[in-house]
Amino acid sequence: MTEVPVVTKVEELRNFVRAKRLAGKSIGLTPTMGALHAGHLSLVEILSQHVDCVIVTIFVNPTQFSVNEDFGRYPRQLKEDIEKLLKVKADLVFAPHVEEMYPSDFSTRVIMSGPAQVNLEDRFRPTHFEGVATVVAKLLNQSQADIAIFGEKDYQQLQVIRQLVRDLDISTRILAGPTLREADGLALSSRNIYLSEDERAKAPQLYLALRSAVSQILSGGDISEALKQSCEIIVNAGMKIDYLEARHAESLTPLRSMAEGPARLLVAAHLGKTRLIDNIPVS
């Protein structure tokens, strides 16, 4: 199979899209920060069932990292990523340099409330969704994609992006892909490579704790009691919890009982130097 073409300039991306449109093709976008794993590839596969052409963006977006986060050490492996994309139906990689996305006179920030300010990720990463919303608005504008796909793995991000396209009348349809996991339940993440062998053995407890809370809640247990017991599982595995909460699955507002709407459990915890996030539906 031939390699997926890679472009780094917005103009090249636009030329590609224009040519495909003239040929009557629909366009899909899979935004990523690279260090691709099977979770990313699954999004490309899902998307390719809905559109004629799939564009994968690979951009480690500096504006969604705060100064004390891992922007500098975030894995960058474009060559390996391009090879991995041979396994799926990707038609173009857009891998811009930082200066292409943020020239020196760049002056705009997309600042959101709603699902971007619900005291989950935003409480611990106050400028994160500002960076995400800004870069996603740019990518959707640059590509003019018919459909873009995002993973449920970053569940709050998914709701933020849905709100963003509604609020700014962006015509791209947003699709969600389910979270791909290792056999032991750990959600695939580019950051899992930071885990030591010992931490890797403990990390699945995060998912197991979520599963345990869901089964307690579904068998009629009290939500806060179920979450308390799950906290213990996570802490006993040596993790430090940022949050573990039951929220309304769409608005992400706090939920005290299952009668208040579809529920989602969301968790973030530190295992050594690595911050892990995960979430599952209560169903």
Binding mask 131-170 for ligand AMP (x = CB under 6 A): -------------------xx-xx----------------
Kindly name the residue from 37, 40, 97, 128 that is annotated as catalytic: 40
Residue 186 DSSP label:
P
Dist CA 41 CA 45 (whole Å): 6
Q: Which part of the chain contacts ligand AMP (CB under 6 A), choosing from 68-76, 84-92, 175-183, 269-277?
A: 175-183
Q: Residue 40 catalytic?
A: yes
End-to-end CA distance of the chain: 41
**DSSP code string of 75-115:** ---HHHHHHHGGGTT--EEE---HHHHS-TT--------GG
Contacts with ligand AMP by CB under 6 A: the residue count is 17
Side chain identity, residue 251: S
Whats the size of the chain, residue-wise? 283
Q: Is 265 helix (H, G, I), strand (E, B) or coil?
A: strand
Cβ pair 170, 147 in contact under 8 A: no
Q: Which is nearer to ligand AMP, 40 or 202 (CB)?
A: 40
Q: Which is nearer to ligand AMP, 27 or 276 (CB)?
A: 276
Q: Which is nearer to ligand AMP, 30 or 230 (CB)?
A: 30
Cβ pair 273, 241 in contact under 8 A: no
Q: Which is nearer to ligand AMP, 64 or 230 (CB)?
A: 64
Q: Which is nearer to ligand AMP, 33 or 268 (CB)?
A: 33
Q: Where is 13: in which H helix or E strand? A: helix 10-22
Q: Is 57 a binder of ligand AMP (CB under 6 A)?
A: no
User: How many Cβ atoms sit within 10 Å of the Cβ of residue 97?
Assistant: 10
CB 59 → ligand AMP: shortest distance, Å?
A: 9
CB 220 → ligand AMP: shortest distance, Å?
A: 31
Binder of ligand AMP out of 4, 16, 27, 39 (CB under 6 A): 39
Active site residues: 40
Binding site for ligand AMP (CB under 6 A): 32-33, 39-40, 42-43, 150-151, 153-154, 177, 179-180, 187-190
